[in-house]
Amino acid sequence: MAVKKLKEGIHWVGAIDWDRRLFDELIPLPDGTTYNAYLVEGSDKIALVDTVDPSKTGELLDNLQELGVRRIDYIIANHAEQDHSGSIPDVLAIYPEALVVTNEKCKAMLMDLLEIPDNRFRTVADGASLSLGDRTLEFIFAPWVHWPETMLTYLREEKLLFSCDFLGSHLAQSEPLLWDEAHAYQSAKRYYAEIMMPFRSNIRKHLQRLRALSLDMIAPSHGVVYPRPEFILAAYEEWTSDKVANKVLIPFVSMHGSTREMVDYLTGALMQKNIPVLPCNVVRADIGDLAKELVDAATVIIASPTVLSGPHPAILYVTYLANALRPKFKFASIIGSFGWGGRMLEILTAQLGNIKAEILEPVMVKGYPKPADYQALDKLAEAIAEKHRSIGILN
């Protein structure tokens, strides 16, 4: 691995996980990820901002060796999750004078998770600063992006924000500062959807606080570094706003073709009304892609056949995840098929407790769709168009 210079005396010393394809045994990582750690050298003190996943400790230590780092005074722990904190015990062992600088809540978690002894910590308050001599670190508490203890670290003289998980992306690449803007945008949106979306209202408050800072660079702990902070701040303001796009997402499963026929018909009817629509077979879908579409879709239509007495388990799984992610879609409905009855509507509706969307008239079909069923789907398409017009996203 190689260190990367961001500015004079500030180096990326993290690790790239090119092959990782799943995070938390849940989140797909089509582009791998990075664990970004940064070394900040002041005239008096040296700080390491975050560490890396335990599986990559060797790469972090190699990078510190490559830079000839003989002393680390402070290890800034912005977040206790192990992909950033996991190497702290090894760094403490090699640099015996180093103190872990973090907040009380994070300290307690690090003691629980990594058994770091009490005497290796220095705790800081929200807004506190720490001098490195000619450089100053300021600490900004940012709970619930996505854990309760998370903080951000602002390097005052360089106007550089180390934002930890916040504003990050799962994107492995060798140059933290050189990247394709369109790809970076999509990666950051997907990451927001999977990790940050449930905390939308907290994030809005944190964004307001960041807007009060003078920022020249944002360096998260995953993915690319932003030399133009406006790129990611504006994107987050859009995603966390109440605005939705003229878009319908249809997560679906079909076993014998009836539900698929309904989905295809509804897709066509919506296209004729100039409503962008994305049918998504959840059995084959990457759930990260699905989550990304939930960031701004105005309407979600869940489509499932009946299995035993309820929805297909694959739809139940996706509905559970969607409910946990708390997306902001405003309208929803359920369509599907059954052979001899069942409780699909009841079960799916109960799964959506966190969702504040207005529920449009569901369409349930016995067997294969018949003329009256197609009419019901036409009616649903028109209801969606009317709702989209009513909030000004469709002419």
Handedness of CA 163, 168, 173, 177 (dihedral sign): negative
Cβ closest to ligand FEO, residue 81 vs residue 373: 81
DSSP for 178-243, written as a single string: ---HHHHHHHHHHHIIIIIGGGHHHHHHHHHHHHTS--SEEEESSS--BSSHHHHHHHHHHHHSS-
Q: State which of residues 84, 260, 328, 388 lies at the interface with ligand FEO (CB under 6 A).
A: 84
79 is an interface residue for ligand FEO by CB under 6 A: yes
Beta strands at 38-41 and 10-12: parallel, antiparallel or unpaired = antiparallel
CB of 232 to ligand FEO, least distance (A): 16
Cβ closest to ligand FEO, residue 291 vs residue 381: 291
Binding mask 207-236 for ligand FEO (x = CB under 6 A): --------------xx--------------
Binding mask 300-339 for ligand FEO (x = CB under 6 A): ----------------------------------------
Strand, helix or coil for residue 314: helix
Which of the residues 173 through 192 are near ligand FEO (CB under 6 A)? none
165 is an interface residue for ligand FEO by CB under 6 A: yes
**Interface with ligand FEO: number of residues (CB under 6 A):** 9
What are the φ/ψ torsions at residue 339 (nearest 5 degrees)? -100, -45
DSSP for 231-242, written as a single string: HHHHHHHHHHSS
Q: State which of residues 31, 81, 194, 296 lies at the interface with ligand FEO (CB under 6 A).
A: 81
d(CA 146, CA 163): 12
Cα–Cα distances in angstroms (integers) from residue 23 to residues 18, 89, 194, 288, 374, in the given order: 13, 22, 11, 11, 41
Which of the residues 132 through 151 are near ligand FEO (CB under 6 A)? 146-147
Cross-strand pairs, 1: none
Q: State which of residues 83, 149, 194, 261 lies at the interface with ligand FEO (CB under 6 A).
A: 83
Cβ closest to ligand FEO, residue 80 vs residue 360: 80
Binding site for ligand FEO (CB under 6 A): 79, 81, 83-84, 146-147, 165, 221-222
